[in-house]
Chains A and B, each alone.
Chain A
Amino acid sequence: MEAIETIAPPKPPIAPKKPGTKETTHCYHCGEKCDHSIAIEDKYFCCEGCKFVFELLQENGLCNYYDLSNTPGIKVKGKFSSDKFAYLDNPDIQKKLLRFTDGKQSQVNFYLPQMHCASCIWLLENLHAIQPGVLHSKTNFQRKEIFIAFDTSVTSLRKVVELLAFVGYEPYISFDDNEKKRTKKVNRQKIYRIGVAGFSFSNIMMLIFPEYFSSGNISETYLVRIFSYLNLLLALPVFFYSASEFFVSAYKGLRQKWLNIDAPIALAILVTFSRSVYEILSGTGAGYLDSMTGVVLFMLIGRWFQDKTYDSFSFDRDYKSYFPLGVTLVKDGVETPVTISELKKGDRVIVRHNEMVPADGILLEGEASIDYSFVSGENNLSIKRKGELIYAGATQSGGSILIEVVNPVTQSYITQLWNNNDVFNGAKHVEKSFVHPWSRYFTWTLFTVAGVGAIYWAVVDTSKILPAVTAALIVACPCSLLLSATFTFGNMLRHFGRNKLYLKNASVIESIARIDTVVFDKTGTLTHTQQARIEFFGTNPGKQQERAIYSLAKQSAHPLSRLLANHLLETGTEPMAISDFKELAGKGVEGRIGDNLIRLGSSSFVRGTEKVAEQGTSEVWVSINDQVLGAYSIHNRYRPGVNKMASWFESQGYDLHVLSGDNDAEKENLQQIFGKNASLVFNQSPQNKLEYIKTLQSGKRKVMMLGDGLNDAGALKQSDVGIAVTENSGQFTPASDAILDSSEINKMDGFVRYARSGKGIVTIGFVVSILYNFVGLSFAVSANLSPLVAAILMPVSTITIVAIAGVASSIVARKTLGN
């Protein structure tokens, strides 16, 4: 079940049952804490959405969903509007999305980021039970993909997507999925290569056995000849097909005047093969084809092991992944769904509840309560009036609004970051691995040893020069260095993944080991987005009043009400009936409970006087029957363990920086956490953050940046190691080198320590392999290397190296990461 544990998004933990205290109820569908107001028999739900989904599944006999895992459901965030997926009826868009259609049956592939457990697989593969017309659905859990075939005469693409969204698995729809398909093909090539090498290696081993065990005295010499010719035949596909990637990469390196690790390996393979061909054709020996095919096989396995990546994550997103595909355009009172790229300046667009504003625009109609959390990580609603500018990337909550586009999508406030900076074009410069220069030293040493041997034999016996030199090259191939590196880094990637730091590839490990400067974003990275520290100022409300406040707060969708309701629920409150409920955008909520009129909201709404809350906090004022009780003050809460993590970095002499888009209200707190030497910079725009990293880098610093929202995208991309921090692995993250589950940010010190140990582990494996090489070389330069010795040395040294890499990296992981 390991895969499930590592990929599952964090679930609210089920509260342990303490004797004597009141048990907290959790939603039967999604597992969120809830009260008893929405119930079916003995099952309780947090919201109508969850209840609806449950009823739908129950009606269709799909309740097995809830038996396979505990509270598997995904909270449906408000009802999506009926037109949200209208653009899927557009035939052009359908053509791009459908994998196949013949007018009767259509097939489509979707990426479902929310897929997280066995129940999900079960429900998604039984979609046909809910929606008539769905013929077949099949999931790939690790890629988080679903393949659906449906009957176009019964249902439509839009209906299928709507059903998926309704049960909580809204597909991520994008047009540029071609990239993904291409990488899939490359991976298969690798597996074919391994298969061919394995086939040849095992058959050659079988055929070479008589040679080894007969000590050269086989009576039927024609058999020996046949066997060696067969061996040669079997080795051909390995040399020309399986090993081709070493030759290609070596050639590419040499053309750029760069001797990479593949160059000496290609040379060793070439020498081994040529000498074996010569020996076999001339009938002077059996060659070293078993060693050659074996080494190629193990090196390919090592590369494959290291390259196994996290298919369900995407590390290369740009702003296009965040924006909706389709928008609703209004022209002369007619609504038409169009794709976002068609939007022009002056177009009028409707944005509904929970939809994203696609381009910078001016509010024309409706009440806009805008949430920029997607862009900045801040969890506050702001109210916009008619004529005000709303930036792209904001999410609307409440009713629909009408906006007039002032900048096309590509030139909006947030996308400018991508368009005005070179970082986003072209690949990031990655420093080359230490393995390459090492292999070069190794190669020169080897040449020296072979040269000394050659000079010696030139004096003693010229006929032995060539055998001695070729034998040296065969036995001391730097492949042990490659094996040591690939297996160590491959295993380390898995250990990082088990601790919820998902690296883009193995070279990131070395980059992390090299950093000397760490930059943190504040909001969303160091602080919680879903939790807050809440205090009450004023006359403390009694139990009954708290119940009433809870009941009222629960009715509102405002993020602050949510936080407040969640806070009050911990005390085990139950909701009460409310009448005359009113939600006033930008002000607050009011409602009547029993005989009491209760108001919750801003100071001006509740008290009638304006009061600016202290920076970094928000206030929710409470009044009952116009009598002001006081206010709940809501603070950011730092993630646990941040303190300890920061002090480790400080003690190790790392340069610490904190960049924040907010003002400096938290300055003292942060200085305390990060030490007096840390630089704290506030009021940073996305562009400022990027420039800040650039300035650090121009001072020859190696920078690691941790950030979350889109506003950190430039900085993450610019830094040597960009780590995107996310609350939920199903969520989208900006382009980065690694994705970190936010609950594990306190382990960042362990991650860096672990990465730094990588080079040491590779070195140990390499040193051991050099010891083997000494033995082999001493045979080789004395012109005594029999194929048997080569055939024994090769697998023994390979197994030792792989074992050292695996065991050492696991032991260090236990020490630095705790498992």
Chain B
Amino acid sequence: MSVLVILIALSIIVAGIFLFAFILSVKRGQFDDDYTPSVRMLFDDPPAIKEETV
């Protein structure tokens, strides 16, 4: 049963990594805007490049 201790320790470490990742993503502003990205991903056509600039 002592293997449980190792497994529990591992699971808490893994959970801790996720907590850290969550805090990091909040800090980087990934949750500041929960609307615009959902619209942005639907734009598939980049604007046609002006011909005379080539």
Contact = CB atoms under 8 A, between A and B. Distances in A.
Interface of A: 3, 59-62, 64, 68, 118, 121-122, 125-126, 129, 139-143, 184, 188, 191-192, 195-196, 199, 202-203, 206-207, 220, 223, 226-227, 230, 234
B54 interface: no
Contacts of A122: 43
Contact of A121 (B15, B19, B40): B40
A195 B26 contact: yes
A141 B33 contact: yes
B26 A230 contact: no
25 contacts: A3-B35, A59-B50, A68-B43, A121-B36, A125-B43, A126-B46, A129-B47, A129-B50, A140-B32, A141-B36, A141-B39, A142-B33, A143-B33, A184-B32, A188-B26, A191-B26, A191-B31, A195-B22, A199-B15, A206-B11, A207-B8, A220-B1, A226-B5, A227-B8, A234-B12
Interface in B1-54: 1, 4-5, 8, 11-12, 15-16, 18-19, 22-23, 26-27, 31-36, 39-40, 42-43, 45-50
Contacts of B42: 118
Given A140-B32, A142-B33, A192-B23, A125 B49 contact: no
Q: Point out which of A3, A192, A199 has the most chain B C-beta atoms below 10 A from its C-beta.
A: A199
Nearest to A117: B39
Given A125-B40, A196-B19, A220-B1, A230 B32 contact: no
Contacts of A195: 19, 22-23, 26
B39 A61 contact: no
Interface of B: 1, 4-5, 8, 11-12, 15-16, 18-19, 22-23, 26-27, 31-36, 39-40, 42-43, 45-50
Contacts of A129: 47, 49-50
A546 to B, nearest CB: 43
A126 B45 CA distance: 11
Q: Point out which of B8, B33, B35, B40 has the most chain A C-beta atoms below 10 A from its C-beta.
A: B35
Contact of A60 (B1, B45, B50): B50
Contacts of B39: 118, 121, 141
A61 B4 CA distance: 63
Contacts of A192: 23, 26
A64 B11 CA distance: 49
Contact of A223 (B4, B31, B35, B40): B4
Contact of B48 (A61, A191, A202): A61
A203 B12 contact: yes
Which are the 5 A-B pairs with shortest beta-carbon distances?
A61-B48, A129-B47, A141-B36, A199-B19, A140-B33
A92 B48 CA distance: 38
B31 to A, nearest CB: 7
Contacts of A196: 19
A142 to B, nearest CB: 5
Contacts of B31: 191
B15 A61 contact: no
A203 B15 contact: yes
A605 to B, nearest CB: 50
A191 B46 CA distance: 35
Q: Point out which of B5, B42, B47, B49 has the most chain A C-beta atoms below 10 A from its C-beta.
A: B47
A14 to B, nearest CB: 22
Nearest to B5: A226
A141 B35 contact: yes
A62 B34 CA distance: 26
Contact of B1 (A61, A118, A199, A223): A223
Contact of A140 (B15, B16, B36): B36
Contacts of B35: 3, 141-142
